[in-house]
Amino acid sequence: MGQDFRLGYVCLEVSDLAGFAKFMTDVAGFAPGGGAEGWTAFRLDGAAARLFCREGPANDIVASGWDMVDDEALDRAAGRLAAAGAVIARDNADLARQRKVERVLATADFHGTGVELFVGQQQAAPVSLPLVEGGFLTGDSLGLGHFVLVSRDKSADIAFYRDALGLRWSDDIVMPLGPFGNLDATFLHANPRHHSLAVGAVPEPVPLRSRLDHICFEMRAIDDVGMAHARFVEAGLPIVRDFGMHPNDRAFSFYGKTPAGFDFEMAFDSALIDDATWKPQTYGHITRWGHRSESGMPSIGD
């Protein structure tokens, strides 16, 4: 059982930065967090920045940033990643300034998606979130939330994120995806949050829209999840999966499509894991109740 760490930030590339920034504040309910050198930052708690966005054609994740808690843990994780074949950049002061952290090492997973290991995330004045009165559930130990990466073959992601970076197995969901084969997702935790990352294999010919399927933000009040749903509807953004619950994390949530094409999941009351007693299992279904999809097609997200 490894030491706890947490998802600290996510970096995104979007094709319409001005439109996406308006969505982030007016629909998702985040606070502006300044920005520099091409990156626009957003806040949702005491951290100086939790999401970084830049303009570009990808409409996808650029990098995930992992708060390794201390230098020793960061160096140990970097050593494991290097031994597994990842190319680790040296300490980069410019990147640390951009990401508002003390120290950061950059690398990429085996699909080429950026991964940054850091310590010392800057804190800022208490955040003002007029649209999310109860605030987001992050805290010292749980981190930003979770995100889901998709590919044709998840084994390279498991080798990187579980075996080398040090995330731990929560559970799997494997279920038939119509005539195409199986949806096959593995959920991984870095701390008591049920998962900080899930990796999914999508069989051909189901299209891969982007590497990022969705990012989930957990709210402290169920009322705020309902109000976020209403803002997506009012903004004319599709509700990809309506209110519902997965069998594994047992969070109450919905999925809305962002203007960049990937989804945001807004959740409440996700399960926590105690490694001393947790028993990973494989579920054969993705929905405990609800999460009705407009297309009728289950998507890979947890």
Binding to Fe ion (CB under 5 A) within 143-182 occurs at: none
Using the rule CB under 5 A, is 10 a contact of Fe ion? no
Stretches 33-41, 67-75, 136-144, 215-223: which one binds Fe ion (CB under 5 A)? 215-223
Q: Of 17 and 212, which CB lies nearer to Fe ion in the complex structure? A: 212
Using the rule CB under 5 A, is 218 a contact of Fe ion? no
Interface mask toward Fe ion for 128-147; x: CB under 5 A: --------------------
Consecutive H or E run containing 93: helix 93-99
| CA gap 266, 65 in Å, rounded | 20
Q: What is the DSSP string of 161-214?
A: IIIII--EEEEEEEEE-GGG-EEEEEEEESSSBS-SEEEEE--TTS----SEEE
CA angle 251, 116, 19 (to 5 degrees): 65
Stretches 120-128, 153-161, 258-266, 275-283: which one binds Fe ion (CB under 5 A)? 258-266
CA angle 18, 218, 161 (to 5 degrees): 85
Provide the 3-class DSSP secondary structure of residue 213: strand
Stretches 30-38, 217-225, 262-270, 284-292: which one binds Fe ion (CB under 5 A)? 262-270
Q: Of 256 and 301, which CB lies nearer to Fe ion in the complex structure? A: 301
Which member of 216, 260, 266, 286 binds Fe ion (CB under 5 A)? Answer: 216
| CA gap 33, 41 in Å, rounded | 5
Q: Tally the residues of the chain.
A: 302
Which member of 67, 157, 265, 269 binds Fe ion (CB under 5 A)? Answer: 265
Q: What are the Cα distances from residue 170, in Å, to 9, 14, 132, 212, 277?
A: 21, 31, 29, 20, 12
Using the rule CB under 5 A, is 302 a contact of Fe ion? yes
Binding-site size for Fe ion (CB under 5 A) equals: 4
Interface mask toward Fe ion for 25-54; x: CB under 5 A: ------------------------------
Provide the 3-class DSSP secondary structure of residue 162: helix
Task: Check if the beta carbon of residue 199 is closer than 8 Å to that of residue 161.
Answer: yes
Q: Of 120 and 226, which CB lies nearer to Fe ion in the complex structure? A: 226
Q: Of 8 and 301, which CB lies nearer to Fe ion in the complex structure? A: 301
Stretches 24-32, 72-80, 259-267, 282-290: which one binds Fe ion (CB under 5 A)? 259-267
Q: Which residues contribute to the site for Fe ion (CB under 5 A)?
A: 216, 265, 301-302
